[in-house]
Amino acid sequence: MAKAKSPPALPRKTASQRARAARLLAALKSRYPDAHCELDWTKPHELLIATILSAQCTDASVNRATPALFRAFPTPADYARSTPEAIEPLIRSIGLFRSKAKAIHATCNLLVERFGGEVPRTMEELLLLRGVARKTANVVLGNCFGINAGVVVDTHVDRLSHRMGLSRASTPAAIERDLMALFPQDDWCLLSHLLIFHGRRCCKARGGGCASDPICREFCSAAANAPKPRRKVAKKRGTSR
């Protein structure tokens, strides 16, 4: 993937911290060789819109709504010519659909008026769009254009960053900078996919498989506190006298 300049003055990390991060990255790459963005899209503006819709919402629910939405509005210009009220019925199944419809309409208006209907390729320009913060911008830059400007920090990445000793920070921005300091820039986009895959499939907020998972046993603090699986003890057959 292409590189973008890192922000200055990232937190300092020791050689042992970076070595541990490298072991974790290798383990996750081996476990999830097909890790990818789980939002469905074919064009950059579709991923931008899907990511806006995914705020406080699951990717699965977004993917159920977007096929009809993308058919009704094939281009940013189609959204811009429409109204938020016309967008709302197509995303009514998604939380906060009214505010998200307004954000999508305003964003596509700006795409048309300022960027010729194209999704911009810089963090600074993407942050001008309504409903777009660093997380959304990182999703678009990394997955659409191969630009590693930062690391996506969603709820899974937040949780695993703390459990796996990657960050003690309390805000997504600070967690992101810890991750950027620990991992090679070429892997920033993939790193978020790997952590999200592991968070959804194993190291869950509740009822995860941390106690029995090799990656969690080495890296995750939740593994030490998770209830150990009970072993089945075979009943001894009574001896007849």
Show the tokens assigned to 148.
């590693």
Check residue 9 and give its pLDDT. Answer: 80
Domains of the chain: 12-35+151-221 (1.10.1670.10), 44-147 (1.10.340.30)
- The question of whether 154 is a catalytic residue gets the answer yes
- The question of whether 187 is a catalytic residue gets the answer no
233: left (phi over 0), alpha (psi -120 to 50) or beta: beta
Strand spans (E) along the chain: 2-3, 147-148
Contact 204, 197 (CB under 8 A): no
Check residue 223 and give its pLDDT. Answer: 80
Q: State the catalytic residue, choosing from 29, 40, 43, 154.
A: 154
Those residues whose C-beta lies under 8 Å from the C-beta of residue 224, and which sit 6 or more positions away, are none
Check residue 120 and give its pLDDT. Answer: 98
Q: State the catalytic residue, choosing from 59, 100, 135, 213.
A: 135
Question: Which pTM value belongs to this model?
Answer: 0.88
Consecutive sets of 10 residues in the chain, 241 residues long: mean pLDDT of each? Answer: 61 97 98 98 98 95 98 98 98 97 98 98 97 97 98 97 97 97 98 98 89 95 68 53 41
Check residue 1 and give its pLDDT. Answer: 61
Which of 77, 121, 130 shows the shortest CA–CA distance to 101? 130
